[in-house]
Amino acid sequence: MTPLRKVINKKDSSIKPIWLMRQAGRYLPEFRKIRKQNPNFVKLCLNTNKVKEITLQPIRRYDLDAAIIFSDILMVPFGLGQTVEFKKNFGPYLGSISLRDIKNYDFKLFRKNLEPVYKSINNVKKDKILINKDLIGFVGGPWTILVYMLNKSSPKKKLEKVFSDKMLIKDMLEYINKYLISHIDGQIKSGVNIIQIFDSWAGLVNEKNLNEYIYKPTKKLVKFSKSLKTPCICFPRNIKNYKEYTKIIKPDVISIDYNINPYEIIKNIKIPVQGGMDPRVLLSSKRNLEKSANYYLNAFKNHPYIFNLGHGVLPQTDPSMVEYLIKLVRKFNERPS
Protein backbone atom coordinates (compact mmCIF):
# COMPACT_ATOMS: atom_id res chain seq x y z
CA MET A 1 0.00 0.00 0.00
CA THR A 2 1.33 3.45 -0.91
CA PRO A 3 2.10 5.95 1.88
CA LEU A 4 -0.83 8.20 0.88
CA ARG A 5 -3.18 5.22 0.79
CA LYS A 6 -2.10 4.22 4.30
CA VAL A 7 -3.15 7.65 5.52
CA ILE A 8 -6.35 7.84 3.48
CA ASN A 9 -7.63 4.25 3.69
CA LYS A 10 -6.13 3.07 6.97
CA LYS A 11 -6.15 6.45 8.78
CA ASP A 12 -2.51 5.73 9.66
CA SER A 13 -1.06 8.61 11.67
CA SER A 14 2.38 7.04 12.15
CA ILE A 15 3.70 8.21 8.75
CA LYS A 16 3.52 11.65 7.17
CA PRO A 17 3.76 11.34 3.36
CA ILE A 18 4.61 14.41 1.35
CA TRP A 19 3.82 15.89 -2.07
CA LEU A 20 3.42 19.57 -2.97
CA MET A 21 0.76 21.43 -4.89
CA ARG A 22 2.34 22.81 -8.06
CA GLN A 23 5.42 20.64 -7.47
CA ALA A 24 5.96 20.36 -11.24
CA GLY A 25 6.60 23.57 -13.12
CA ARG A 26 7.31 27.23 -12.53
CA TYR A 27 10.13 27.14 -9.92
CA LEU A 28 12.07 24.21 -11.48
CA PRO A 29 14.89 25.16 -13.89
CA GLU A 30 14.35 21.94 -15.87
CA PHE A 31 10.70 22.95 -16.39
CA ARG A 32 11.60 26.52 -17.36
CA LYS A 33 13.89 25.19 -20.04
CA ILE A 34 11.08 23.14 -21.62
CA ARG A 35 8.63 26.01 -21.19
CA LYS A 36 10.93 28.38 -23.06
CA GLN A 37 10.91 26.05 -26.05
CA ASN A 38 7.10 25.67 -25.86
CA PRO A 39 5.50 29.12 -25.85
CA ASN A 40 1.96 27.73 -26.19
CA PHE A 41 1.04 26.44 -22.74
CA VAL A 42 -2.12 24.57 -23.79
CA LYS A 43 -0.19 22.80 -26.54
CA LEU A 44 2.42 21.83 -23.98
CA CYS A 45 -0.32 20.29 -21.81
CA LEU A 46 -1.35 18.22 -24.87
CA ASN A 47 2.18 17.04 -25.66
CA THR A 48 2.22 13.56 -24.17
CA ASN A 49 6.00 13.12 -24.13
CA LYS A 50 6.62 16.49 -22.53
CA VAL A 51 3.81 16.01 -20.02
CA LYS A 52 5.38 12.77 -18.90
CA GLU A 53 8.79 14.39 -18.59
CA ILE A 54 7.47 17.39 -16.60
CA THR A 55 5.26 15.28 -14.32
CA LEU A 56 8.24 13.16 -13.35
CA GLN A 57 10.77 16.01 -12.99
CA PRO A 58 10.04 16.62 -9.28
CA ILE A 59 9.93 12.85 -8.64
CA ARG A 60 13.40 12.39 -10.14
CA ARG A 61 14.73 15.36 -8.19
CA TYR A 62 13.11 14.68 -4.81
CA ASP A 63 11.88 11.84 -2.66
CA LEU A 64 8.15 12.66 -2.98
CA ASP A 65 5.31 10.20 -2.30
CA ALA A 66 3.06 11.19 -5.19
CA ALA A 67 3.18 12.71 -8.65
CA ILE A 68 0.47 15.04 -9.95
CA ILE A 69 -0.18 14.91 -13.66
CA PHE A 70 1.12 18.02 -15.40
CA SER A 71 -1.95 19.75 -16.81
CA ASP A 72 -4.14 22.69 -15.85
CA ILE A 73 -7.62 23.18 -14.44
CA LEU A 74 -8.37 25.32 -17.54
CA MET A 75 -8.04 22.30 -19.83
CA VAL A 76 -11.76 21.70 -19.20
CA PRO A 77 -12.84 25.05 -20.74
CA PHE A 78 -10.39 24.25 -23.55
CA GLY A 79 -12.05 20.84 -24.00
CA LEU A 80 -15.38 22.66 -24.29
CA GLY A 81 -14.12 24.69 -27.22
CA GLN A 82 -13.38 27.91 -25.30
CA THR A 83 -10.16 29.63 -26.33
CA VAL A 84 -7.59 29.47 -23.51
CA GLU A 85 -4.31 31.35 -23.69
CA PHE A 86 -1.69 32.09 -21.07
CA LYS A 87 -0.13 35.49 -21.39
CA LYS A 88 3.18 36.31 -19.78
CA ASN A 89 2.79 38.41 -16.62
CA PHE A 90 -1.00 38.36 -17.00
CA GLY A 91 -2.10 34.75 -16.52
CA PRO A 92 -4.96 33.05 -18.31
CA TYR A 93 -6.92 34.79 -20.99
CA LEU A 94 -10.11 33.07 -22.20
CA GLY A 95 -12.49 33.66 -25.12
CA SER A 96 -16.26 34.08 -24.73
CA ILE A 97 -18.59 31.16 -24.12
CA SER A 98 -22.36 31.08 -23.51
CA LEU A 99 -24.66 28.74 -21.66
CA ARG A 100 -26.00 27.58 -25.02
CA ASP A 101 -22.50 26.78 -26.30
CA ILE A 102 -21.93 24.49 -23.33
CA LYS A 103 -25.39 22.94 -23.49
CA ASN A 104 -24.97 22.04 -27.15
CA TYR A 105 -21.37 20.90 -27.02
CA ASP A 106 -20.71 17.38 -28.28
CA PHE A 107 -19.71 15.18 -25.36
CA LYS A 108 -17.60 12.91 -27.55
CA LEU A 109 -15.73 15.88 -28.92
CA PHE A 110 -14.95 17.02 -25.37
CA ARG A 111 -13.38 13.65 -24.57
CA LYS A 112 -11.54 13.68 -27.88
CA ASN A 113 -10.11 17.15 -27.23
CA LEU A 114 -8.74 15.93 -23.91
CA GLU A 115 -7.57 12.53 -25.16
CA PRO A 116 -3.87 13.57 -24.98
CA VAL A 117 -4.28 14.17 -21.22
CA TYR A 118 -5.55 10.62 -20.77
CA LYS A 119 -2.80 9.23 -22.99
CA SER A 120 -0.19 11.08 -20.91
CA ILE A 121 -1.59 9.63 -17.69
CA ASN A 122 -1.37 6.19 -19.21
CA ASN A 123 2.25 6.80 -20.20
CA VAL A 124 3.28 8.25 -16.85
CA LYS A 125 1.59 5.48 -14.93
CA LYS A 126 3.76 2.85 -16.63
CA ASP A 127 7.01 4.37 -15.42
CA LYS A 128 8.76 2.28 -12.76
CA ILE A 129 9.65 5.38 -10.79
CA LEU A 130 6.02 5.46 -9.60
CA ILE A 131 6.19 2.08 -7.87
CA ASN A 132 4.74 2.57 -4.39
CA LYS A 133 3.75 6.15 -5.28
CA ASP A 134 0.39 7.59 -6.26
CA LEU A 135 -0.46 9.45 -9.42
CA ILE A 136 -2.88 12.28 -8.68
CA GLY A 137 -5.34 13.58 -11.26
CA PHE A 138 -7.28 16.79 -10.75
CA VAL A 139 -10.03 19.15 -11.79
CA GLY A 140 -10.90 22.67 -10.76
CA GLY A 141 -13.92 23.04 -8.50
CA PRO A 142 -17.13 23.74 -10.47
CA TRP A 143 -17.30 27.29 -9.05
CA THR A 144 -13.63 28.04 -9.81
CA ILE A 145 -14.03 26.82 -13.41
CA LEU A 146 -17.18 28.91 -13.80
CA VAL A 147 -15.28 31.96 -12.52
CA TYR A 148 -12.61 31.59 -15.22
CA MET A 149 -15.14 30.73 -17.96
CA LEU A 150 -17.35 33.75 -17.32
CA ASN A 151 -14.75 36.19 -16.08
CA LYS A 152 -12.35 35.22 -18.87
CA SER A 153 -9.33 36.03 -16.74
CA SER A 154 -8.14 35.68 -13.18
CA PRO A 155 -10.57 37.23 -10.67
CA LYS A 156 -7.46 38.85 -9.17
CA LYS A 157 -7.61 41.29 -12.10
CA LYS A 158 -11.33 42.09 -12.26
CA LEU A 159 -14.70 40.47 -11.51
CA GLU A 160 -17.38 40.75 -14.21
CA LYS A 161 -20.96 41.78 -13.37
CA VAL A 162 -22.43 38.45 -14.59
CA PHE A 163 -21.87 37.02 -11.12
CA SER A 164 -25.09 38.65 -9.93
CA ASP A 165 -27.18 36.52 -12.35
CA LYS A 166 -28.03 33.61 -10.07
CA MET A 167 -30.07 31.65 -12.60
CA LEU A 168 -27.28 31.75 -15.13
CA ILE A 169 -24.74 30.63 -12.54
CA LYS A 170 -26.90 27.73 -11.39
CA ASP A 171 -27.50 26.53 -14.94
CA MET A 172 -23.87 26.89 -15.95
CA LEU A 173 -22.68 25.02 -12.88
CA GLU A 174 -24.97 22.15 -13.74
CA TYR A 175 -23.55 21.79 -17.25
CA ILE A 176 -19.93 22.41 -16.27
CA ASN A 177 -20.29 19.69 -13.65
CA LYS A 178 -21.18 17.09 -16.27
CA TYR A 179 -17.92 17.79 -18.06
CA LEU A 180 -15.90 17.82 -14.84
CA ILE A 181 -17.34 14.41 -14.02
CA SER A 182 -16.39 13.19 -17.48
CA HIS A 183 -12.85 14.53 -17.02
CA ILE A 184 -12.54 12.80 -13.65
CA ASP A 185 -13.77 9.61 -15.29
CA GLY A 186 -11.24 9.90 -18.15
CA GLN A 187 -8.36 10.44 -15.74
CA ILE A 188 -9.29 7.56 -13.44
CA LYS A 189 -9.81 5.18 -16.37
CA SER A 190 -6.36 6.01 -17.70
CA GLY A 191 -4.55 5.45 -14.42
CA VAL A 192 -4.72 8.17 -11.74
CA ASN A 193 -5.55 6.72 -8.34
CA ILE A 194 -6.39 9.87 -6.38
CA ILE A 195 -8.38 12.94 -7.49
CA GLN A 196 -7.85 16.43 -6.10
CA ILE A 197 -10.41 19.19 -6.57
CA PHE A 198 -8.76 22.63 -6.62
CA ASP A 199 -11.43 25.15 -5.66
CA SER A 200 -9.02 28.07 -5.65
CA TRP A 201 -11.75 30.75 -5.66
CA ALA A 202 -14.17 29.11 -3.20
CA GLY A 203 -13.39 32.00 -0.84
CA LEU A 204 -15.20 34.45 -3.15
CA VAL A 205 -18.63 32.93 -2.46
CA ASN A 206 -20.92 34.53 0.18
CA GLU A 207 -22.30 32.36 2.90
CA LYS A 208 -25.82 32.52 1.49
CA ASN A 209 -24.70 31.12 -1.87
CA LEU A 210 -22.39 28.40 -0.54
CA ASN A 211 -24.96 25.67 -0.82
CA GLU A 212 -25.86 26.29 -4.49
CA TYR A 213 -22.45 27.38 -5.79
CA ILE A 214 -20.05 25.17 -3.86
CA TYR A 215 -21.63 22.41 -1.79
CA LYS A 216 -24.20 20.99 -4.22
CA PRO A 217 -22.01 20.70 -7.34
CA THR A 218 -18.81 19.67 -5.51
CA LYS A 219 -20.61 16.95 -3.59
CA LYS A 220 -21.51 15.30 -6.91
CA LEU A 221 -17.86 15.23 -8.01
CA VAL A 222 -16.73 13.64 -4.75
CA LYS A 223 -19.50 11.07 -4.92
CA PHE A 224 -18.56 10.20 -8.49
CA SER A 225 -14.87 9.80 -7.68
CA LYS A 226 -15.71 7.58 -4.71
CA SER A 227 -18.04 5.48 -6.88
CA LEU A 228 -14.96 4.57 -8.93
CA LYS A 229 -13.12 3.62 -5.72
CA THR A 230 -10.82 6.61 -6.07
CA PRO A 231 -10.31 8.84 -3.04
CA CYS A 232 -10.97 12.53 -3.45
CA ILE A 233 -9.00 15.35 -1.82
CA CYS A 234 -10.78 18.71 -1.67
CA PHE A 235 -8.99 22.04 -1.49
CA PRO A 236 -11.57 24.81 -1.02
CA ARG A 237 -9.09 27.67 -0.65
CA ASN A 238 -10.05 30.44 1.78
CA ILE A 239 -13.41 28.93 2.62
CA LYS A 240 -14.55 30.19 6.02
CA ASN A 241 -16.07 27.03 7.44
CA TYR A 242 -14.01 23.88 6.82
CA LYS A 243 -16.05 21.94 9.35
CA GLU A 244 -19.33 22.54 7.55
CA TYR A 245 -17.71 21.96 4.15
CA THR A 246 -16.30 18.61 5.25
CA LYS A 247 -19.54 17.52 6.87
CA ILE A 248 -21.59 18.27 3.76
CA ILE A 249 -19.19 17.30 0.97
CA LYS A 250 -17.59 14.27 2.66
CA PRO A 251 -14.23 14.27 0.90
CA ASP A 252 -11.70 11.56 1.78
CA VAL A 253 -9.13 14.23 2.64
CA ILE A 254 -9.47 17.95 3.31
CA SER A 255 -6.61 20.15 2.16
CA ILE A 256 -6.30 23.32 4.25
CA ASP A 257 -4.97 26.76 3.33
CA TYR A 258 -2.41 28.67 5.38
CA ASN A 259 -4.94 30.89 7.19
CA ILE A 260 -6.26 27.92 9.11
CA ASN A 261 -5.18 27.06 12.64
CA PRO A 262 -4.27 23.34 12.53
CA TYR A 263 -5.30 22.86 16.17
CA GLU A 264 -8.80 24.14 15.38
CA ILE A 265 -9.02 21.70 12.47
CA ILE A 266 -8.08 18.72 14.62
CA LYS A 267 -10.73 19.69 17.13
CA ASN A 268 -13.44 19.85 14.48
CA ILE A 269 -12.49 17.43 11.72
CA LYS A 270 -11.97 13.70 11.98
CA ILE A 271 -11.04 12.83 8.38
CA PRO A 272 -7.41 12.91 7.09
CA VAL A 273 -6.01 16.41 6.58
CA GLN A 274 -3.51 17.67 4.01
CA GLY A 275 -1.39 20.80 3.73
CA GLY A 276 -1.43 24.09 5.55
CA MET A 277 2.11 25.47 5.57
CA ASP A 278 2.45 28.88 3.95
CA PRO A 279 4.43 28.50 0.68
CA ARG A 280 6.13 31.84 1.47
CA VAL A 281 8.05 30.08 4.25
CA LEU A 282 10.03 28.39 1.45
CA LEU A 283 11.24 31.88 0.46
CA SER A 284 12.66 32.60 3.92
CA SER A 285 15.44 30.84 5.87
CA LYS A 286 16.08 27.17 6.61
CA ARG A 287 15.54 27.95 10.28
CA ASN A 288 12.10 29.38 9.63
CA LEU A 289 11.27 26.47 7.38
CA GLU A 290 12.25 24.00 10.08
CA LYS A 291 10.11 25.82 12.63
CA SER A 292 7.08 25.97 10.39
CA ALA A 293 7.30 22.38 9.08
CA ASN A 294 7.68 21.05 12.63
CA TYR A 295 4.73 23.15 13.77
CA TYR A 296 2.44 21.33 11.30
CA LEU A 297 4.05 17.91 11.85
CA ASN A 298 3.64 18.20 15.62
CA ALA A 299 0.11 19.56 15.39
CA PHE A 300 -0.92 16.55 13.29
CA LYS A 301 1.29 14.06 15.14
CA ASN A 302 -1.68 11.87 16.11
CA HIS A 303 -3.95 12.67 13.17
CA PRO A 304 -3.84 11.12 9.66
CA TYR A 305 -1.96 13.81 7.76
CA ILE A 306 -0.40 14.32 4.33
CA PHE A 307 2.27 17.00 4.35
CA ASN A 308 1.68 19.69 1.71
CA LEU A 309 1.47 23.47 1.50
CA GLY A 310 -1.46 25.83 2.02
CA HIS A 311 -1.26 26.78 -1.67
CA GLY A 312 1.08 25.99 -4.59
CA VAL A 313 4.89 26.26 -4.55
CA LEU A 314 5.70 29.86 -5.59
CA PRO A 315 7.64 30.46 -8.82
CA GLN A 316 10.47 32.25 -6.97
CA THR A 317 11.15 29.25 -4.67
CA ASP A 318 14.71 27.95 -4.50
CA PRO A 319 14.56 24.19 -5.29
CA SER A 320 17.10 23.52 -2.51
CA MET A 321 14.55 24.77 0.04
CA VAL A 322 12.05 22.18 -1.25
CA GLU A 323 14.74 19.54 -0.85
CA TYR A 324 15.36 20.66 2.73
CA LEU A 325 11.64 20.55 3.52
CA ILE A 326 11.35 16.97 2.29
CA LYS A 327 14.37 16.01 4.43
CA LEU A 328 12.69 17.52 7.48
CA VAL A 329 9.50 15.55 6.90
CA ARG A 330 11.46 12.32 6.37
CA LYS A 331 13.42 12.97 9.56
CA PHE A 332 10.18 13.41 11.48
CA ASN A 333 8.92 10.09 10.09
CA GLU A 334 12.04 8.33 11.36
CA ARG A 335 11.80 9.70 14.91
CA PRO A 336 11.67 7.08 17.67
CA SER A 337 8.11 6.60 18.84
Could you tell me the smallest distance in angstroms from the CB atom of residue 12 to ligand 1CP? Answer: 24
Give the 3-state secondary structure of the chain.
Answer: CCHHHHHHHHCCCCCCCECCCCCCCCCCHHHHHHHHHCCCHHHHHCCHHHHHHHHHHHHHHCCCCEEECCCCCCHHHHHCCCCEEEECCCEEEECCCCHHHHHCCCHHHHHHHCHHHHHHHHHHHCCHHHCCCEEEEEEECHHHHHHHHHHCECCCCCCCHHHHCHHHHHHHHHHHHHHHHHHHHHHHHHCCCEEEEEECCHHHCCHHHHHHHHHHHHHHHHHHHHHCCCCEEEEECCCCCHHHHHHHHCCCEEEECCCCCHHHHHHHCCCCEEECECHHHHHCCHHHHHHHHHHHHHHCCCCCEEECECCCCCCCCCHHHHHHHHHHHHHHHCCCC
Q: Which positions from 280 through 319 interact with ligand 1CP, judged by CB under 6 A?
A: 312
143 binding ligand 1CP? (CB under 6 A):
no
Q: How far is the CB of 326 from ligand 1CP (least distance, A)?
A: 15
Choose between 87 and 330: whose C-beta lies nearer to ligand 1CP.
87
**Footprint on residues 35-94 left by ligand 1CP (CB under 6 A):** 35, 41, 68, 70-74, 86, 91-92
In the complex, minimum distance from the CB of residue 92 to ligand 1CP, in angstroms, rounded to a whole number: 5
Binding track, positions 154-173, relative to ligand 1CP; x by CB under 6 A: x-x-----------------
Q: Which listed residue (8, 17, 18, 22) binds ligand 1CP by CB under 6 A?
A: 22
Q: How far apart are CA 49 and CA 60, in angstroms?
A: 16
In angstroms, the CA 16 to CA 4 distance is 8
Say how many residues touch ligand 1CP, by CB under 6 A. Answer: 23
Nearer to ligand 1CP, 3 or 299 (CB): 3
Cβ neighbours around 73 below 10 Å, total: 20
Distance of closest approach, residue 196 Cβ to ligand 1CP, in angstroms: 8
Asked if 21 interacts with ligand 1CP (CB under 6 A), we say: yes
Nearer CB in complex with ligand 1CP: 187/299:
187
Q: Which of residues 247-286 bind ligand 1CP (CB under 6 A)?
A: none
Q: Single out the segment in contact with ligand 1CP by CB under 6 A; choices: 17-25, 217-225, 281-289, 297-305.
A: 17-25
Interface residue with ligand 1CP, options 2, 23, 47, 317 (CB under 6 A): 23
Stretch that binds ligand 1CP, among 18-26, 178-186, 215-223, 255-263 (CB under 6 A): 18-26
Tell the smallest beta-carbon distance from residue 336 to ligand 1CP (Å).
Answer: 33
The residues binding ligand 1CP (CB under 6 A) are 21-26, 35, 41, 68, 70-74, 86, 91-92, 138, 154, 156, 198, 200, 312
